[in-house]
Amino acid sequence: MSLVLLVDDEPRIGRALEFALEGSDFEVESISNAQQIEAQLERSRPDVILLDIALGLHSGLDVCRRIKANPRFADIPLLLLSGQSDPQTQAAGFGAGADDFVPKPFVPTELIARIQKRLDTQP
């Protein structure tokens, strides 16, 4: 069972993710406060991070840069979730160090394939 950490301040995204991954080999943990992400990563290191770009007070892109700049967490695959899937937004996400980009709404088949691909390519 692989652990997915969802960082999102909207509870409905967490419910949708749990629905999408039900019956799969993934377990979901969620946090809504991006300030707590490092503490959460120390406490329970996930196999994959799903981070929403729109995080209320915090920019998901800034959080992404912060995680990827930290040598202790930089190797954890990080996928950005966004309702904006235009090329500029995706480019900004990859520029911030994201490993992949998941547009919302997401379809379970594609989401699981993207997460699995990141796990398979991990050293």
Partner 1 sequence: MMTETSTSLNRTLAEYRKIMHLAPPVVRKGSSLIDVVAVLAADPRPGVVLVIDDNERLVGWILEDRLETDLTLLVSPDSVKDASEELRFQATRGLMQTAGDLMTEAASVTIRTTVKEAVDRMVQSQTHAAALVDDQKRLLGYVTLPEIMREMLTWGG
Instruction: Give the pair of three-digit tokens for residue 72.
Output: 């202790």
Nearer to partner 1, 22 or 62 (CB): 22
Sheet (strand 100-103) strand order: 26-31, 2-7, 48-52, 78-82, 100-103
The secondary element (H helix, E strand) that includes residue 21 is helix 11-21
Give me the least distance between CB of 103 and partner 1, in Å please.
9
- Tell me: does residue 83 bind partner 1 (CB under 8 A): yes
Q: How far is the CB of 11 from partner 1 (least distance, A)?
A: 7
Q: Tell whether residue 107 is a contact of partner 1 (CB under 8 A).
A: yes
Closest CA to 49 of 39, 62, 64: 64
Q: Which one, 3 or 112, has the nearer CB to partner 1? A: 112
Where does this chain touch partner 1 (CB under 8 A) — which range of 33-41, 65-73, 79-87, 92-100?
Answer: 79-87
If one asks whether residue 7 binds partner 1 (CB under 8 A), the answer comes out as no
Dihedral sign, Cα of residue 22, residue 57, residue 41, residue 113:
positive
Site string for partner 1, 12-51 (x = CB under 8 A): xx-xxx-xx-xx----------------------------
